Amino acid sequence: MRTTLTIDPDVAQLLTQALDRSKKPLKLVVNDALRRGLSAPDSSPPKPFKVLPYAMGWDAGLDPTGFNQLIDQLAVDDYLELQQRLGLTRGSTPSPVLKP
């Protein structure tokens, strides 16, 4: 059977290397590679990933659920500091052109 294939550059490079190694004609190298690739057994699905629990041993007084609140508060503090540096007050709108 004759057919025309468009081969990607990386595959063409692998094919060229196989031709150099084997010293066989292109037809034989391509047919052998296709036979090996198409007759390869299907890979089985990977085993399910299991997460093993581990006791973290949080220090007394440290609330791991409060970290999001801390991040929120830091973001608010940064925003208020920026407002103060720009000379803006609560409820005012910035001018279109900021002065340095």
Task: Examine the pLDDT at 90 and tell me if it is beyond 80.
Answer: no
Question: Would you say residue 33 lies in a domain?
Answer: yes
DSSP 8-state secondary structure symbol assigned to residue 62? -
Question: Would you say residue 66 lies in a domain?
Answer: no
Provide the domain count of the chain: 1
Residue 65: CB partners within 8 Å, gap ≥ 6?
A: none
Residue 40 is predicted with a pLDDT of: 74
> What are the pLDDT digits (tens) for 16-71?
999 999 999 999 999 999 998 888 777 778 889 999 888 777 777 777 777 888 88
Question: Would you say residue 17 lies in a domain?
Answer: yes
Whole-model pTM above 0.75?
no
DSSP 8-state secondary structure symbol assigned to residue 87? T
> What is the span of the domain harbouring residue 32?
9-39
